[in-house]
Copies of this chain bind each other. A is one copy, B any other.
């Protein structure tokens, strides 16, 4: 009986899509990896690491922050960015939910019920 076959919630779709969009750029993934590998506070080091202009990196950081994936805390003249991996749980759950149980017999002829 199908374990509640994902009610096609439009709201959830939007949330997951927004999270996916936040991850949909190599530079942003690189930033996330950098924050994971660097437990301390990094600021402009991110700019050097990704090799893009400072304004561009700032925009990527803004997008990640807007999606809730990272958080930035002001620390003197710098900003301390930190990962917020819990924010990705909705996306992770969606991806996990796509694991089909087993009944993947596709293409049942489907005789289109005589109208």
Contacts and interface: CB of A to CB of B under 8 A. Distances in A.
A23 interface: yes
A66 interface: no
Number of copies: 2
Interface in A77-99: 80, 82-83, 85, 88, 91-92, 94-99
11 contacts: A6-B36, A17-B23, A20-B23, A23-B91, A39-B105, A40-B105, A40-B107, A41-B106, A41-B109, A82-B104, A85-B98
Interface of A: 2, 5-6, 8, 10, 13-14, 16-18, 20-26, 28-30, 32-34, 36-37, 39-41, 49, 73, 75, 80, 82-83, 85, 88, 91-92, 94-100, 103-110
